[in-house]
Chain A
Amino acid sequence: MTAEIGQFALILALVLAGVQTLVPMIGAWRLDPAMMAVGRTAALLQLLFIVVAFVSLGACYVTNDFSVALVAEHSNISQPLIYRIGATWGSHEGSMLLWVLIVALYGGAVAIFGGSLRESLQARVLAVQGLIGAAFLGFLLFTSNPFTRLSPIPLDGAELNPVLQDPGLVFHPPVLYTGYVGLSIAFSFGVAALIEGRVDAGWARWVRPWVLVAWIFLTVGIAMGSLWAYYTLGWGGWWFWDPVENASLMPWLLATALLHSSLVLERRGALVSWTILLAILAFSLSLVGTFLVRSGVLTSVHAFALDARRGVYILGIIAAMTGSSLALFAWRAPVLRTGSLFAPLSREYAITINNLFLLAATATVFLGTFYPVFMDVLHGDKISVGPPYYKFTFVPIFILLFVLVSFGPVLNWKRDEMRRLLPRLRWPAGLAAVTLVVAAAVFGIAHLFAALGLALGVWLIVGAFIVLARRWRIGQVSRSDMFGLVRSTPLAVWGLVIAHAGLGVTTVGITAVSAWQTNKVLSMSPGQSVKLAGNTITMVALRPVNGPNYEANQAQFDVVGAFGRSTLTSERRMYPSSQTTTTDAGIGVGILGNIYISVADQNPDGGLTVRMWNHPFVDWIWAGCLLMAFGGAVSLADRSLRVAKVERVVVRPLAAAAEPVIP
C-alpha cells in the first residue's frame, strides 16, 4: 500500500512539473499574473508530492517491505535501522528520487522566498526548474521506478553494500546532492534571463545567494566524501581522481568561478554573458556526472548497476537541456548589454583571470575523466589516465591559481596601480618567502615541492587576513577608531577572509600529508610493539566480536606518543549476507597528524597483518574545506540582509529599466 501511495505521488508530481513548466512560461510571455501565479502553486504541490513519495520509500525500507524489489535488493532483516533509512538513497533508484526531491526543494524555495523577484523572471525560473523536474521524474518513472513490486516475495532481502553501511551514507549523499543538484537553480536563472533577454545587477544579486547555498553544500559534501573514503577504504587515501569524485569536483570548480563572476556582475555590471554561460555549464556538468555514474560509460567504485537504457535517457536529457540552452545562449547572449569596462589591473580583471584558471582546471579534469571514452570511440583502445596525469595538468594550474588568489581582494575595482598594489602584499609575500626558505633548509632540497606547498598555504592564509588588516588600518589609526572599523566590517568580508584562509589550511594539509606520510606493514601478535613516527604502538588485544549483521576480528592498540597515550580499535568485518569484508580503521586524531591503523586477515602463524600510517596534518584538508563552507555561510548571512535592503530601493525602477545598477 505504502509503495502505491509513493507511486501515485510520483505520477502526480510529474503532471504538476509539466504544469509548472508550461503555464508560467506562457503566462510570462503574455504577462498574465494569474498564469504566472500557477507556477508557484505547482512548484509547492510538486514538492509536497515528491516528499510523500520519498517518505513512502523510506517507510518501505523501515518496515522491510521485501515485496518492493528495491527494498529486497538493499535491505535485510538484520540490517540496522539507520542503514535501512540510509538505503533509501543508497541505490540508483533511491538516489534519483533524492535528486528530484532536491530539484523540487529549490523550486519550492524560489516559490516561497522569491516573492520580491520580478514576477516574469520568477515565473520563468520556476518554469525551467519545472522542466528539469519533469525530465527526471520521467526518467525515474519510466526507467528506474523505485516502487516496482517483486513476486514471489523473498523471505529476506539481500543487503546494502557493506561499504555503504556507515554513518557517511546517512549524511554524504543528501548534503552532496543539495549542492550538486542545487546548481539547477543557477541554470534556471540563467536560462530564464536569456529568455527574458535582460540581465542586470538585480539578477546577479538574486542568483548569488542560491549559488552560494549550493556551493556551501557542495563543498561540505565533497569534503565528507573524501573523509569517508579516508576512514573506510583502509589505507588512508583521501582523493583518488575517481570518475565520480571528478564528477562532483567539476561542478564545484565552475560553481566557484560562478560565485566570483556573479560578484563582478552584481557590483560592476560586467561579465554578463560569461556569468550566464558558467551557470549553464556548472549545472550541465552536474548532469554529465549523473550520466557518468548511471550509464556505465566508465567504471568507478561508485557506479550503479549498468543499464544502457538509462544512459540513453539521461544523455537525451543532457543533449536537449544543455544543447538548447547553449543554442539559446548563442542566439541571445550577443545582444545582452555588456557592462562597464575595466582596466587590465583591477579586481574585475583578477576575477576574470581566476575564472579562466578555474575553467582550465575543469577542462583538464573533464578530459582526464572522459579520456577513456574518447579513446575508445576514436581508436577502440581501453585506456584510462591516473593520478600522474592530474599531477602534471591540474596541480600546476592550481598552483598558479593559488598565487593569484591573494591578489584579488586587495585590488581596487575598476582600476589600480602596480606600484600601490605590491606594498599591500608585502606581509603575505614576505612570510611565504620565509616559509619557503626555512622549509627548504629544514627538509632539504628534495622536499622543495613540499616547501613550495607550505609557502603557498602561508601566502593564502596571511593574504586572507591582510584584507582585514587593511580594512582596520592597523597601525594607522587609534585603537578606538580601529574598534569602530572592526565592528563595521561587513559579514561578506569576514566570509571572504575565512574562505580564502580555509583554502590555505587545505593546501597545508594536502602538502604535508603528500610529502611526509610514513607507514609500516607487519605481522603482529598481541603484546608486540612497534615504533612509528615517534609513537610506540602496542597490540594489546585481539578478539572476535559480533555486530548486528557482521562478524569481526577486532584488534586493540595502545599508542604512546609525545602527546600522551591513547587506545585505538581496528576491525576487519565480514558481512555473511553478501560475503563482503570491510575494514574499520582505528584512527588517532590529532591536530598535527593522525595515526591510522588497519588490520587485514589473520596469517597462518596466528599473527595479524597490520598496516599503520602516520598522516601529518591530514585533518587540515577537511578543516580547510569546512572553513571555506563556513566562510560561504557567513557571507550568505550578510547577503540575505542586503537582498532585503536592496529590493526595497530597486523594485520600482528595475521594473522598467534593464540598465545595470552600479552601486
Chain B
Amino acid sequence: MKRAVFLAPVALFALVIIAFAAGLGRDPSRLPSTLIDKPLPVFDLPAVRDGDVGLKTTDITGQPRLLNVFASWCVSCRVEHPVLLQLKASGVPIDGLDWKDEAVDGRKYLVEQGDPYRLAGNDRTGRAGIDLGVAGVPETFLVDRRGRVRYKHIGPISPDDWSGIIKPLMDRLRAEG
C-alpha cells in the first residue's frame, strides 16, 4: 500500500508525458486545412511596378503557379530572392504579393534585387495578407490551374525545398491536366 503511494507521482507523470508527446506534432496556431484545396481569397491589389496592372485573384489561374508573399523590409526575402530569380529563368510562373509595404519601396526592391514576378500587387494595409493567413514573410502558395491553393510554404524557399517538395508537387499539378 505504502509503495503504491510513492509510485503515484511517477505514474501520473507518465500520463502527462504521453499527452505532451501526442500534442507535440499538433500545431495549435497553424490550421493548414483552412486554405488548402480552397480557392484563393478574393483580392484586387494595386501595382507595385510603374504602369503595371497589379494583382487580382481572377488573374491567378490558368496554369499551376506560385504566389510569393514578400516585403522590401524582410531580410529572409533577400535570402530567398536569388532562388526566385532562378525559378523564373527556368520558366516557373511566380506572382508577387508585396505585403505591408509602401509600393515605392517594393518597386525599389525589385529594381535593386531583380524582378522574378509575372504579376505583382501591393498589399499596403496587409488586408489581403490577413485573408491569406500570412503570419510572416516570406510565404509561398502553390496555386493550381483552377485557382485553388494546394500547398503553403512558410519561410524562404531553399533550392532543396524547391527540388524536394515544391517541384514534385508542381509537376503533379501540371500532369493533372
A residues lining the B interface (CB < 8 Å) = 72-73, 152, 154, 156-158, 273, 277, 281, 284, 291, 295-299, 306, 308, 311-312, 315, 318-319, 322-323, 326-327, 329-330, 333-334, 370, 372-374, 376-377, 382, 576-579
Contact = CB atoms under 8 A, between A and B. Distances in A.
Give the 7 A-B residue pairs with the shortest CB-CB distance, closest first: A326-B10, A373-B23, A377-B22, A330-B6, A299-B29, A330-B7, A297-B23
B83 to A, nearest CB: 13
A413 B79 CA distance: 68
A299 B10 contact: no
Given A299-B29, A382-B28, A579-B73, A373 B20 contact: yes
Interface string B69-110: 001011100110000000000000000000011000000000
B22 A154 contact: no
B10 A158 contact: no
Tell me if B's interface is mostly helix, strand, loop or mixed: helix
Contacts, number: 85
Contact of A577 (B9, B13, B73): B73
18 contacts: A281-B9, A284-B13, A291-B20, A295-B24, A296-B27, A296-B29, A297-B24, A299-B28, A308-B25, A312-B24, A315-B17, A323-B10, A330-B3, A330-B6, A330-B7, A334-B3, A374-B23, A578-B73
Nearest to A373: B23
Contacts of B10: 323, 326-327, 329-330
Interface of B: 2-3, 6-7, 9-10, 13-14, 16-17, 19-29, 71, 73-75, 78-79, 100-101
Contacts of B100: 579
Contacts of A577: 73
Contact of A297 (B6, B13, B20, B74): B20
A281 B28 CA distance: 26
A539 B9 CA distance: 59
A375 to B, nearest CB: 10
A21 B71 CA distance: 49
Contacts of A315: 17, 20-21, 24
A555 B100 CA distance: 26
Contacts of B78: 154
A281 B12 CA distance: 12
A156 B93 CA distance: 30
Contact of B28 (A334, A374, A376): A376
A199 to B, nearest CB: 14
Nearest to A284: B13
Contacts of A284: 13
Contact of A319 (B2, B7, B17, B101): B17
A326 B11 CA distance: 9
A373 B3 contact: no
Given A157-B75, A377-B23, A329 B6 contact: yes
Nearest to B18: A377
A281 B75 CA distance: 42
Nearest to A277: B9
Contact of B75 (A72, A273, A277, A308): A72
Contacts of A273: 6
B3 A376 contact: no
Nearest to A312: B24
A336 to B, nearest CB: 10
In this complex, which of A326, A329, A576 has the most chain B Cβ atoms within 10 angstroms of its Cβ? A326
Contacts of A318: 17, 20
A374 B73 CA distance: 39
A154 B6 contact: no
A433 B122 CA distance: 66
A250 to B, nearest CB: 13
A330 to B, nearest CB: 5
A376 B9 contact: no
Contacts of B13: 284, 322-323, 326
Given A157-B75, A333-B6, 5 more contacts: A318-B20, A330-B7, A370-B16, A373-B23, A376-B23
A333 B2 CA distance: 10
A261 to B, nearest CB: 15
Nearest to B126: A579
A295 B17 CA distance: 13
Contacts of B6: 273, 329-330, 333-334
A579 B75 CA distance: 13
Contacts of B19: 370, 373-374, 377
A323 B10 CA distance: 6
Contacts of B24: 295, 297, 308, 311-312, 315
Contacts of A333: 6
Contacts of B22: 377
A333 B6 CA distance: 7
Contacts of B74: 158
A39 to B, nearest CB: 28
A127 B29 CA distance: 39
A330 B7 CA distance: 5
A291 B17 CA distance: 11
B14 A323 contact: yes
A330 B13 CA distance: 12
A435 B55 CA distance: 67
A640 B28 CA distance: 47
